[in-house]
Structure 1
Amino acid sequence: MNQDTFNLSIRKFLKMVGVGSQREIEHAVEAALRDGAISGTESLPCRMTLEVDGVKLKIVFDGSIELE
Protein backbone atom coordinates (compact mmCIF):
# COMPACT_ATOMS: atom_id res chain seq x y z
CA MET A 1 0.00 0.00 0.00
CA ASN A 2 1.22 3.48 -0.84
CA GLN A 3 0.69 5.52 2.32
CA ASP A 4 0.80 8.88 0.50
CA THR A 5 -1.82 7.81 -2.05
CA PHE A 6 -3.98 6.37 0.73
CA ASN A 7 -3.83 9.55 2.85
CA LEU A 8 -4.48 11.84 -0.13
CA SER A 9 -7.46 9.72 -1.17
CA ILE A 10 -8.95 9.91 2.33
CA ARG A 11 -8.48 13.69 2.44
CA LYS A 12 -10.14 14.14 -0.97
CA PHE A 13 -13.09 12.00 0.09
CA LEU A 14 -13.55 13.84 3.40
CA LYS A 15 -13.30 17.24 1.68
CA MET A 16 -15.98 16.20 -0.84
CA VAL A 17 -18.23 14.96 1.98
CA GLY A 18 -17.66 18.07 4.07
CA VAL A 19 -18.31 20.59 1.30
CA GLY A 20 -21.27 18.68 -0.13
CA SER A 21 -22.83 18.08 3.28
CA GLN A 22 -22.52 21.72 4.31
CA ARG A 23 -24.17 22.88 1.09
CA GLU A 24 -27.07 20.44 1.51
CA ILE A 25 -27.61 21.37 5.15
CA GLU A 26 -27.59 25.09 4.32
CA HIS A 27 -30.17 24.59 1.54
CA ALA A 28 -32.39 22.45 3.77
CA VAL A 29 -32.29 24.97 6.63
CA GLU A 30 -33.00 27.88 4.28
CA ALA A 31 -35.99 26.02 2.83
CA ALA A 32 -37.31 25.10 6.28
CA LEU A 33 -37.01 28.74 7.41
CA ARG A 34 -38.75 29.95 4.25
CA ASP A 35 -41.57 27.41 4.71
CA GLY A 36 -41.97 28.25 8.39
CA ALA A 37 -41.09 24.71 9.48
CA ILE A 38 -38.43 26.08 11.85
CA SER A 39 -38.02 29.48 13.51
CA GLY A 40 -34.25 29.78 13.30
CA THR A 41 -33.48 29.37 17.00
CA GLU A 42 -33.44 25.56 17.07
CA SER A 43 -30.74 23.09 17.86
CA LEU A 44 -31.05 20.46 15.13
CA PRO A 45 -29.97 16.92 16.04
CA CYS A 46 -27.96 15.34 13.24
CA ARG A 47 -26.35 12.03 12.40
CA MET A 48 -23.75 11.00 9.84
CA THR A 49 -23.08 7.36 8.97
CA LEU A 50 -19.75 6.40 7.40
CA GLU A 51 -19.44 3.06 5.65
CA VAL A 52 -16.36 1.69 3.93
CA ASP A 53 -17.03 -1.43 1.93
CA GLY A 54 -14.28 -4.01 1.88
CA VAL A 55 -13.09 -3.37 5.44
CA LYS A 56 -16.44 -3.77 7.19
CA LEU A 57 -16.43 -0.27 8.64
CA LYS A 58 -19.72 1.29 9.67
CA ILE A 59 -19.68 4.07 12.22
CA VAL A 60 -22.27 6.65 13.24
CA PHE A 61 -21.44 10.18 14.34
CA ASP A 62 -24.11 12.06 16.30
CA GLY A 63 -24.16 15.78 16.94
CA SER A 64 -26.24 18.91 16.65
CA ILE A 65 -26.36 22.00 14.48
CA GLU A 66 -27.06 25.20 16.40
CA LEU A 67 -29.00 27.91 14.57
CA GLU A 68 -28.58 30.56 17.25
Structure 2
Amino acid sequence: MDEHRFNMSMRRFLKEVGVTSQQAIEAIVRDSDMQGHGKLKVKMILTADGTPLNHVVEGEIDLG
Protein backbone atom coordinates (compact mmCIF):
# COMPACT_ATOMS: atom_id res chain seq x y z
CA MET A 1 0.00 0.00 0.00
CA ASP A 2 1.24 3.47 -0.85
CA GLU A 3 1.01 5.22 2.54
CA HIS A 4 1.32 8.73 1.10
CA ARG A 5 -1.45 8.16 -1.44
CA PHE A 6 -3.68 6.56 1.21
CA ASN A 7 -3.05 9.42 3.66
CA MET A 8 -3.78 12.11 1.06
CA SER A 9 -6.98 10.37 -0.05
CA MET A 10 -8.18 10.00 3.52
CA ARG A 11 -7.39 13.64 4.31
CA ARG A 12 -9.30 14.76 1.21
CA PHE A 13 -12.33 12.72 2.28
CA LEU A 14 -12.22 13.98 5.88
CA LYS A 15 -11.90 17.59 4.69
CA GLU A 16 -15.00 17.14 2.52
CA VAL A 17 -16.86 15.61 5.46
CA GLY A 18 -15.87 18.49 7.73
CA VAL A 19 -16.70 21.27 5.30
CA THR A 20 -20.01 19.86 4.11
CA SER A 21 -21.07 18.90 7.64
CA GLN A 22 -20.38 22.41 8.91
CA GLN A 23 -22.37 23.88 6.03
CA ALA A 24 -25.31 21.55 6.72
CA ILE A 25 -25.31 22.36 10.44
CA GLU A 26 -25.08 26.11 9.81
CA ALA A 27 -27.98 25.91 7.35
CA ILE A 28 -30.27 23.97 9.69
CA VAL A 29 -29.50 26.29 12.60
CA ARG A 30 -30.09 29.37 10.46
CA ASP A 31 -33.24 28.05 8.73
CA SER A 32 -34.76 26.76 11.97
CA ASP A 33 -34.13 30.01 13.84
CA MET A 34 -32.23 28.09 16.51
CA GLN A 35 -29.40 30.62 16.89
CA GLY A 36 -28.80 31.57 20.49
CA HIS A 37 -31.08 28.86 21.85
CA GLY A 38 -29.14 26.33 23.91
CA LYS A 39 -27.29 23.41 22.39
CA LEU A 40 -27.72 21.19 19.37
CA LYS A 41 -27.10 17.48 19.94
CA VAL A 42 -25.32 15.95 16.96
CA LYS A 43 -24.16 12.50 15.92
CA MET A 44 -21.95 11.34 13.05
CA ILE A 45 -21.84 7.71 11.99
CA LEU A 46 -18.98 6.54 9.78
CA THR A 47 -19.36 3.28 7.90
CA ALA A 48 -17.41 1.73 5.04
CA ASP A 49 -19.00 -0.66 2.57
CA GLY A 50 -17.73 -4.21 2.88
CA THR A 51 -16.21 -3.67 6.34
CA PRO A 52 -17.46 -3.88 9.93
CA LEU A 53 -16.58 -0.19 10.45
CA ASN A 54 -19.24 1.60 12.48
CA HIS A 55 -17.63 4.61 14.17
CA VAL A 56 -20.01 6.88 16.10
CA VAL A 57 -19.14 10.37 17.34
CA GLU A 58 -21.68 12.24 19.45
CA GLY A 59 -21.51 15.74 20.83
CA GLU A 60 -23.19 19.05 21.42
CA ILE A 61 -22.80 22.35 19.62
CA ASP A 62 -23.38 25.47 21.68
CA LEU A 63 -25.72 27.74 19.74
CA GLY A 64 -24.65 30.81 21.66
Deviation track 1:14-43 (CA, whole Å, cap 9, x = no partner) reads: 00000000001101000010xxxx362211
Instruction: Report how many residues are paired.
Output: 64
> TM-score, normalization: structure 1?
0.85
**What's the secondary structure of 1:20's corresponding residue?**
helix
Paired with 1:28 and 1:2, the residues of 2 have a C-alpha distance of 39
Unaligned runs of 5+ in 1: none
- Is the 2:29–2:35 Cα contact (8 Å) retained in structure 1? no
Structure 1 runs of 4+ aligned residues shifted over 3 Å read none
One-letter identity of the residue aligned with 2:52: K
Q: Distance in 1 between matches of 2:44 and 2:13?
A: 14
- Where 2:32 maps in the other structure, the secondary structure is helix
TM-aligned CA deviation for residue 52 of structure 1: 1.5
How large is the RMSD of aligned CA atoms in angstroms?
Answer: 1.2
The structure with more radius of gyration: 1
The residue that corresponds to 2:40 in the other structure is 44
Give 2:9's aligned residue: 9
Unaligned 5+ segments in structure 2 are none
Structure 2 match to 1:30 = 30
